[in-house]
Structure 1
């Protein structure tokens, strides 16, 4: 894999990312003592605000009536603030030609194009390299089995395949994960010396269920494997156990956002450690006030180094809880609850995270391994559709048990329609949205 090492290093260099500078600064931040960390964080937070107040017209307009020196008075930003051409959102001195430009997948329903200055994106890479390195993965030499979507247009497809080649990755497109395709995936693992797996949670879980049916442990088939990183979708505790059993390697939970950075990455102690080096993460209530550690709230994030595009107190659209033992230097994400727009409003007026339905239903219909995947859609205030993929259809007693469990956990009087499917519809990026409210 020495060839991959040269290509990966060369590709970052050719894109203008100052990796040596970024790695040096990132290491300095990580090596700060707990006493000195606040002396680093607070001035850096003030500096990025001051930069955008002075150089970014969009942010100038947002804070025009605010005291920019008072952190809690700064406005909460959302994607709705960015509904204008990218060139109009960039800070002075930056153009679409001298920044890193990308776009979100739109899994939240609000895709948009964003930018990061080259140093900020280099810091992102420094963070990724460091986090994966905790588990023996070296981006210079690793060979990754990648379960991701891929653009199907000719240019987009070719671009992603080139990026995979330069980065030492073998991509398994996830739009068709039938047993026939998964047989081919398994055969590839037999042939190739992968050392890590990375991709969307639902697709990797589906592969693990396929292995379970065949009573195969992937590590036995591909002994070079070291770890598996799941991302972009919820990882449920029982699915993590399944993955550990069927892969025979550590399962690492990643939480990130393409417009920001890695937000949290599970460390070797099993803690979901929040990125405090390049981001400042807050948990806020409905009135935009910080909540105590241990309480649920909206996840709001500030990118501390992106000078090209402001992401200051940016509401990413997720709900979460920081662990009570969190510190300024080492915040721990206790729980990621789901997206703020994944809320079910019930006839009684009660509001419940949509994943509540998913948790309850999952605990029942997957007991025997028959159901491979399912999603829940709220079509009316009292009506839900449950679409599922299985080898045999759910029985009437199983359906009644699900309805009874949901009534116990939520409320009575709800109507459910069950629909067995050959496959479930995924987003263009290949993600599977587990709960959708259509009201």
Structure 2
């Protein structure tokens, strides 16, 4: 079978062969060599952005940088300005990988990665899935994700699905009738693995539990299930293992960075130390000892198009005591949970559905700084947002249209502009909350 996946990356200008070979070299470094590699990469990326990126140079300002800890933290608010103002010399929207963050933290922005650093991201994903016998060029994926509903966006995703050998189960409607259709597909298709949003996969497992079905029994080709984007609680993990009959692997990533941590065969949440440098800091931005919780701050070691240096991602975590610079282990990730919305028709939709809805609000001008969505009654939702300018009636109409399309018609929405939004006691903005 042709390696369609690798070919499609190459055709899009991502030098995957070179990236795979560099990743291989990094993995084979001795502990001593790795320490040198890490220090060199940190220095190299900071020097590059200080000299080639006016946005980053302005952020550092007149700070005298004698050591790593003197560098300022970058947060999502810093990044809410047009992308052109944040790109390095020589990079434009035409020659980079361009995307939007999900806004699951409530603070959306547009970002860029140079093509080589994005190729490294894919190499890292390919390698980690390979730990579980999954090969992106040949393994067949059952994908529990959203999908854009506009015609062009929809067709694009479907083509991508074809090239990357995956079958998509859209997660906007997870009512029993729809889950029954999902089940039928597992009876007839030879899936190798499941990948997608935690909450949707858990809902599917609960449905299997009601039916007293173990998925592996009806789809014997299944090897593993990878859950992402939301917290996986221990009790849910046990449910998934029971109802699927395959290993359940947690991944933790951020579209603007990379895969951050991925569960290895020993069940440890291994941090990606090849392309990222991960720190855990206290509220005064000092590193905490391993085993202590703090905010997760990440540096992308290869992205030259856009600086992500000491970037505060908005999550709280703990590194295991046995972590080393070359093999850090994430002991615990605190934060990142999403509720499920229950709608008047009985339809259930994961909170992440709102990511697709709110994408229609997010413009590159950075007007909307933050937003949260609250479900107060079955058919009533409140959107609270912080912005420079009030949303126009045209924008509100666009959002309502998106909601009709992704969720269901006749839902009532109110929009309230606020100066600040309430946060959880962890300081995290919960984008979707159900008060039912």
TM-score where L is the length of structure 1: 0.78
1:126 has 2:123 as partner: yes
Contact 1:322–1:334, Cα closer than 8 Å, also in 2: yes
Cα deviations by residue, 1:369-408 (Å, 9 ceiling, x for unpaired): xxx9999xxxxxxxx99989xxxxxxxxxxxxxxxxxxxx
Higher relative contact order (CA 8 A, sep 6+): 2
Out of 80, 85, 102, the position equivalent to 1:83 is 80
1:12 has 2:9 as partner: yes
Out of 103, 108, 132, the position equivalent to 1:111 is 108
1-side partners of 2:57 and 2:314: how far apart? 23
**1:436 shift after superposition:** 3.9
1-side partners of 2:107 and 2:6: how far apart? 33
**1:9 shift after superposition:** 2.1
**1:111 shift after superposition:** 1.3
1-side partners of 2:150 and 2:349: how far apart? 27
Which residue of 2 is the match for residue 263 of structure 1?
260
Cα deviations by residue, 1:107-134 (Å, 9 ceiling, x for unpaired): 1111111000011000001100000000
1-side partners of 2:349 and 2:154: how far apart? 27
**1:67 shift after superposition:** 2.4
1:214 has 2:203 as partner: no
Which residue of 1 is the match for residue 135 of structure 2?
138
**1:6 shift after superposition:** 3.5
Alignment of 1:120-269 (within 5 A): 120-269=117-266
Alignment: residue pair count? 357
1-side partners of 2:25 and 2:350: how far apart? 45
Quickly say closer, same or farther: Cα 1:434–1:229, change in 2 above 3 A.
Answer: farther
2-side partners of 1:373 and 1:322: how far apart? 33
Contact 1:374–1:434, Cα closer than 8 Å, also in 2: no
Contact 2:161–2:167, Cα closer than 8 Å, also in 1: yes
Quickly say closer, same or farther: Cα 1:386–1:207, change in 2 above 3 A.
Answer: farther
2-side partners of 1:274 and 1:282: how far apart? 11
1:97 has 2:94 as partner: yes
Which secondary structure does the structure 2 equivalent of 1:189 belong to? helix
2-side partners of 1:292 and 1:386: how far apart? 41
Contact 1:274–1:333, Cα closer than 8 Å, also in 2: yes
Contact 2:174–2:349, Cα closer than 8 Å, also in 1: no
**1:81 shift after superposition:** 1.2
**1:256 shift after superposition:** 0.1
Which secondary structure does the structure 2 equivalent of 1:327 belong to? coil
Which secondary structure does the structure 1 equivalent of 2:162 belong to? helix
Which secondary structure does the structure 2 equivalent of 1:97 belong to? helix
Quickly say closer, same or farther: Cα 1:201–1:374, change in 2 above 3 A.
Answer: closer
Which secondary structure does the structure 1 equivalent of 2:93 belong to? coil
**1:68 shift after superposition:** 3.3
1-side partners of 2:76 and 2:146: how far apart? 23
Out of 51, 65, 70, the position equivalent to 1:54 is 51
1-side partners of 2:377 and 2:308: how far apart? 37
Which secondary structure does the structure 2 equivalent of 1:80 belong to? coil
2-side partners of 1:239 and 1:160: how far apart? 29
Which secondary structure does the structure 1 equivalent of 2:45 belong to? helix
Which residue of 1 is the match for residue 304 of structure 2?
307
1-side partners of 2:152 and 2:183: how far apart? 28
Which residue of 2 is the match for residue 70 of structure 1?
67
Which secondary structure does the structure 2 equivalent of 1:330 belong to? coil
Contact 2:200–2:350, Cα closer than 8 Å, also in 1: no
Which runs of at least 4 in structure 1 moved beyond 6 Å after TM superposition?
Answer: 372-375, 384-388
1-side partners of 2:65 and 2:130: how far apart? 38
Which residue of 1 is the match for residue 387 of structure 2?
none
Contact 1:243–1:251, Cα closer than 8 Å, also in 2: yes
Which residue of 2 is the match for residue 288 of structure 1?
285
Cα deviations by residue, 1:37-73 (Å, 9 ceiling, x for unpaired): 1111011111000000000000010112112342101
Quickly say closer, same or farther: Cα 1:146–1:123, change in 2 above 3 A.
Answer: same
TM-score where L is the length of structure 2: 0.78
**1:34 shift after superposition:** 1.5
Contact 2:97–2:118, Cα closer than 8 Å, also in 1: yes
Which residue of 1 is the match for residue 19 of structure 2?
22
